Amino acid sequence: MSRTPMVASHSSPRALVDIPRNLSDEEMQLIKRSGGVVQIVAFPAYLKPLTQKTQDKLNALRKDFDLPPLPNLAMALMPGDAIITVWPEQRFGAYASKLYAILEEEPKATVKDFVDAIDYTVRKIGIDHVGISSDFNDGGGVKGFNDVSEIRNVTAELIERGYAEADITKLWGGNFLRVWEQVQASARPDAKQTNLSNAASRTSGATAHD
């Protein structure tokens, strides 16, 4: 059990896209109770499930490569089948190129989809426990927010939805920095000694009471 607030740095609500990487409402509440932050990530597969048309194409491809069908739309971009890891390089390359060609046809999640996920999380756990993350260097980015030059588009959408400047500041790093400072303070030697002293006091108090 963590003694300091927890951060989920790259997630979205499972209520919107049901994949293991996303967080359930209950998991988000646990992070809130720790004083932590849920960072909503601009990663398309975590924000918007694939269409049935795309799933059908992916399952046809998987059949060609002797793989079982996908269990649901949202699982298409989750970690792949174990057998793929031992395929010869040529077979893997052929599969991957066809896979990404299919995915390129899928309409990409947008800034509105991204802020929908932020809205949902704020409603569930409050503005003080929500942040924004990008994941640009590892497949992240949505239509309208593909790199740092487009940050203003997210801010504009937040303003359009009625977020105050102070709340936008919290989302764009304020909440995360608060938690970061708390974790750093807890890691200092004097903080560790205080924690040990408090634990000893509680133990001796319980013994005296007994």
DSSP state letters, 37-60: EEEEE--HHHHSPPPHHHHHHHHH
Residue 36 — φ and ψ, nearest 5°? -90, -165
Question: How many folded domains does the chain comprise?
Answer: 2
Per-residue confidence in pLDDT tens, the chain, 210 aa: 677 899 999 999 999 998 888 999 999 999 999 999 999 999 988 999 888 898 899 999 999 999 888 776 556 655 567 788 889 999 999 998 998 899 888 888 999 999 999 999 999 999 999 999 988 876 678 999 999 999 999 999 999 999 999 999 999 999 999 999 998 988 877 755 555 455 445 434 443 444
Q: How far is CA 63 from CA 109, 153, 174, in A?
A: 27, 40, 47
pTM metric for this prediction: 0.77
Final residue of a domain: which of 105, 127, 146?
A: 105
72 shares a domain with 16 = no
pLDDT of amino acid 199 = 44
Closest CA to 12 of 109, 92, 108, 91: 109
Residue 71 maps to which CATH number? 1.10.287.650
Residue 27 maps to which CATH number? 3.20.20.140
181 shares a domain with 126 = yes
- Residue 207 included in any domain: no
173 shares a domain with 113 = yes
- Residue 200 included in any domain: no
DSSP single-letter state for residue 23: B
Q: Which pair of structure tokens corresponds to residue 203?
A: 């133990």
94 shares a domain with 26 = no
pLDDT of amino acid 205 = 47
101 shares a domain with 67 = yes
pLDDT of amino acid 196 = 45
Closest CA to 111 of 171, 49, 44, 54: 44
20 shares a domain with 98 = no
69 shares a domain with 28 = no
124 shares a domain with 68 = no
pLDDT of amino acid 22 = 94
pLDDT of amino acid 27 = 97
Give residue 78's domain range: 52-105
